[in-house]
Amino acid sequence: MTIPPGYRTHDSTLVCRLHKSLYGLKQAPRCWFAKLVTALKSYGFLQSYADYSLFTLTRGHTQLNVLVYVDDLLIAGNDSAAISSFKSYLNTCFHMKDLGILKYFLGIEVARSPSGIFLTQRKYALDIITETGLLGAKPASSPIEQNHGLSNATGTPLSDPESYRRLVGRLIYLAVTRPDITYSVHILSQFMQNPLNEHWSATLRVVRYLKGSPGQGILLRADSDLTLTGWCDSDWAACPLTRRSLSGWLVFLGHSPISWKAKKQSTVARSSAEAEYRSMAAATCELKWLKALLFSLGVQHPQAIPLYCDSQSALHIANNPVFHERTKHIEVDCHFVRDAIQAKLIAPNYVPTTMQLADIFTKALGKTQFQTLLRKLGILNPHAPT
Q: What's the average model confidence in pLDDT over 135-160? A: 87
Alpha carbons 20 and 312: distance in angstroms, whole number = 60
**Percent composition of the chain: helix, strand, coil (DSSP 3-state, to 5):** 40, 20, 40
pLDDT of residue 351: 96
Task: For residue 209, report the phi and psi dihedrals to the nearest 5 degrees.
Answer: -65, -40
DSSP letters along 250-288, please? EEEETTEEEEEEEEE-SS--SSHHHHHHHHHHHHHHHHH
Percent of the chain with pLDDT over 70: 98
DSSP letters along 285-333, please? HHHHHHHHHHHHTT----SPEEEEES-HHHHHHHH-TT--TTTTTS-GG
pLDDT exceeds cutoff 90 at 23: no
Closest CA to 224 of 253, 260, 257: 253
On whether the CB atoms of residues 249 and 230 are closer than 8 A, the answer is yes
Alpha carbons 299 and 12: distance in angstroms, whole number = 60
pLDDT of residue 317: 87
In terms of Cβ atoms closer than 10 Å to its own Cβ (0-12, 13-18, 19+), residue 304 is: middle
pLDDT of residue 275: 93
Alpha carbons 230 and 351: distance in angstroms, whole number = 12
pLDDT of residue 322: 67
Per-residue pLDDT tens digits for 169-207: 999 999 999 999 999 999 999 999 999 999 999 999 999
Helices 80-93, 28-43: inter-axial angle, 10-degree rounding: 130
pLDDT of residue 127: 95
**Beta-bridge partner residues of 157:** 196
pLDDT of residue 129: 96
Q: What's the average model confidence in pLDDT over 205-214? A: 94
Alpha carbons 142 and 152: distance in angstroms, whole number = 21
Domains of the chain plus CATH, in order, are 30-106 (3.30.310), 119-212 (no CATH), 228-294+302-365 (3.30.420.10)
pTM of the model: 0.90
Helix (H, G, I), strand (E, B) or coil at 112: strand
For the chain, the farthest-separated pair of C-alpha atoms sits apart, in whole angstroms, at 80
Closest CA to 279 of 241, 250, 320, 316: 250
Taking the CA of residue 143 as centre, how many other CA atoms within 13 Å lie in the half-sphere pointing to its CB? 25
Signed CA dihedral, 357, 279, 150, 177: sign only: positive
pLDDT of residue 325: 65
> Which of 12-16, 52-56, 154-158, 330-334 has maximum average pLDDT?
52-56
On whether the CB atoms of residues 349 and 333 are closer than 8 A, the answer is no
Per-residue pLDDT tens digits for 299-329: 999 999 999 999 999 999 888 876 666 677 7
Q: Out of 44-48, 192-196, 236-240, 288-292, which region has the weakest mean confidence (pLDDT)?
A: 236-240
Per-residue pLDDT tens digits for 29-70: 999 999 999 999 999 999 999 999 999 999 999 999 999 999
- Long-range contact pairs involving 30-33 (C-beta distance under 8 Å, separation at least 24): 32/70, 32/71, 33/68
pLDDT of residue 259: 95
pLDDT of residue 198: 93
Task: For residue 360, report the phi and psi dihedrals to the nearest 5 degrees.
Answer: -70, -15
pLDDT of residue 323: 62
Per-residue pLDDT tens digits for 324-376: 666 777 777 778 899 999 999 999 999 999 999 999 999 999 889 999 998 89
